Amino acid sequence: MKEQLKQILENARKELESTVDSKTIEDLRVRYLGKKGELTAILKQMGQLSAEERPVVGQLANSVRTQIEDIIKQKSERIRTEQAALKLASEKIDVTLPGKDMAVGRAHPLNAVLEEVEEIFLGMGFDIVSGPEVETDHYCFEALNMPKSHPARDTQDTFYISDNVVLRTQTSSVQIRTMEIRKPPIRIISPGRVYRSDTVDATHSPLFHQIEGLVVDKGITLGDLYGTLDLLMKKLYGKDTQIRLRPHHFPYTEPSAEVDLMCFNCGGKGCPMCKNEGYVELLGAGMVHPDVLRRCGIDPEEYSGFAFGIGLERITMGRYGINDMRLLYENDMRFLGQF
């Protein structure tokens, strides 16, 4: 039995010395020291020994167990150290190498142009106001001279939530809310999302953005409207930019006008883009209708005002030469990366 114990120790030492991974060490520990291991099998035979031999063999068995455990511990620590060294070597970083360029985000074209427009109007003394996108029929239509029977409501392609609640078709509703709670002088723009039941194509979308403007004060004229829009367009498109006003009709302004911008493609000479007219239609504007002022508690005999509504997508497309509105919504990084 003594010879068997010595042989177990010798075999364990040789096998553990040649081991190169932690899993094999664990397998050998179970094989030699486990409940069904070789050392345990020897100890189960001690009952066959005489009283004088048992202490001697028991002492030797404990010594063999201790030595095998020490070998296992030393070998495990050595493997962990070697593995850590290999990992450090494989993950070594040369701190003198140049870093990788980080991709830097940019403002979306719509946001970039909107921020520029806001800065221009803030510089002219305007406030920026906002209002609800889910709006009542009163603020979206009736307060703007469009009762339920008005034919202009048929052209709005409105999304109705109920008979009296809609998704706003224009941010003019914010102008009404502002005039109800503020006293003149009033100078505001109200940018925001608006909704119309349009088919998606290169120039239409059921969701788009408007920037409505409103000025109410004593002595406001159509000349003030022209000067404000002329300055805005020159800031956006350059000092040589020209605009023109054409007579038009809107229920909430009188007189009303369509504002055209000199074609940025041909410089006013005429081309297919502007249908050889030299100008492209840009926005609607006019003097605030006296009835609209009166409904908001403002005396039209004392005050006058002008209002306008600009499509943010339209001026963004003109600013960057974009020919399809859908590009602004598709989030294609190949497109957005150009800006």
Element (H, E) at 310: strand 304-311
Residues of the chain with pLDDT under 70: 47, 155-156, 273
Contact residues for 317 (Cβ-Cβ < 8 A; gap 6+)? 323, 325, 328
Q: What is the biggest distance separating any 2 CA atoms in the chain, rounded to whole angstroms?
A: 128
- For 255, phi then psi, to 5°, come to -75, 165
288-305 pLDDT, tens digit per residue, is: 999 999 999 999 999 999
Of 172, 133, 135, residue with least CA distance to 251: 172
Q: Rounded to an integer, what distance in angstroms lies between the CA atom of residue 239 and that of residue 227?
A: 13
Q: What percent of the chain has pLDDT over 70?
A: 98
Of 213, 177, 169, 172, residue with least CA distance to 295: 177
167-191 pLDDT, tens digit per residue, is: 999 999 999 999 999 999 999 999 9
Residue 173: predicted pLDDT:
94
Q: Rounded to an integer, what distance in angstroms lies between the CA atom of residue 189 and that of residue 295?
A: 20
Q: What percent of the chain has pLDDT over 90?
A: 46
199-235 pLDDT, tens digit per residue, is: 888 778 899 999 999 999 999 999 999 999 999 999 9
Q: Rounded to an integer, what distance in angstroms lies between the CA atom of residue 256 and that of residue 245?
A: 9
* Cβ-contact 309, 288 below 8 angstroms: no
Residue 18: predicted pLDDT:
80
